[in-house]
Homo-oligomer: A and B are copies of this chain.
Amino acid sequence: MRRDQIQARLAEFDAACLRQGTRRTTQRRIILEAVLSSEDHPTSDEVYQAVRPRIAGVSRTTVYRVLKTLVELGAVRQVHHSGGGVRFDGNTSRHHHLVCTRCNRVIDLEAPSLNQLPLPQASPGGFEIQDYSVHFVGTCGACRKRG
């Protein structure tokens, strides 16, 4: 994400904290910034490793807790996919995913043609649809090269 976009999102976050009465701590800002700066979808541990140099003595616990909080505030999203733990996505606008069945990597895909799909009218059991994303499964370039 571009530097100015990150700044805007951090400002949004500050506002959201004020609105909700939650505290704007150093840890939260830096962890949010780390997710937004990431080009892919980091795991909790990758976020932890990324922020460690910037927050003296952070604990994994805090990273987990902050990420959970950020998801609840809507500042970041969890990526839904198989394999190896939860991942986080700083891109909260509608976008889609390429999921590699070999390495489980998830790559963002911007595809405006898929952003206006007709929503199913009748959802089983009264499910209320709020958003959607298309998951393309297949093999990523790196794995194809590896054979």
A87-143 interface (Cβ within 8 A of B): 98-101, 107, 109, 111, 113-114, 117-120, 123-142
- Contact among B82, B111, B125, B142 with A141 in the assembled complex (CB-CB below 8 Å): B125
A43 within 8 A of B: no
In the assembled complex, which residues on chain B have CB atoms less than 8 Å from the CB atom of A133? 134-135, 137
Number of copies: 2
A86 within 8 A of B: yes
* A140 and B139 alpha carbons, distance in the complex (Å): 32
Which chain B residue lies CB-closest to A107? B124
* A138 and B140 alpha carbons, distance in the complex (Å): 29
- Contact among B83, B100, B138 with A131 in the assembled complex (CB-CB below 8 Å): B138
In the assembled complex, which residues on chain B have CB atoms less than 8 Å from the CB atom of A120? 109, 111, 113-114, 136
In the complex, the answer to whether A130 meets B125 with C-beta atoms within 8 Å is no
In the assembled complex, which residues on chain B have CB atoms less than 8 Å from the CB atom of A131? 136-138
In the complex, the answer to whether B113 meets A125 with C-beta atoms within 8 Å is no
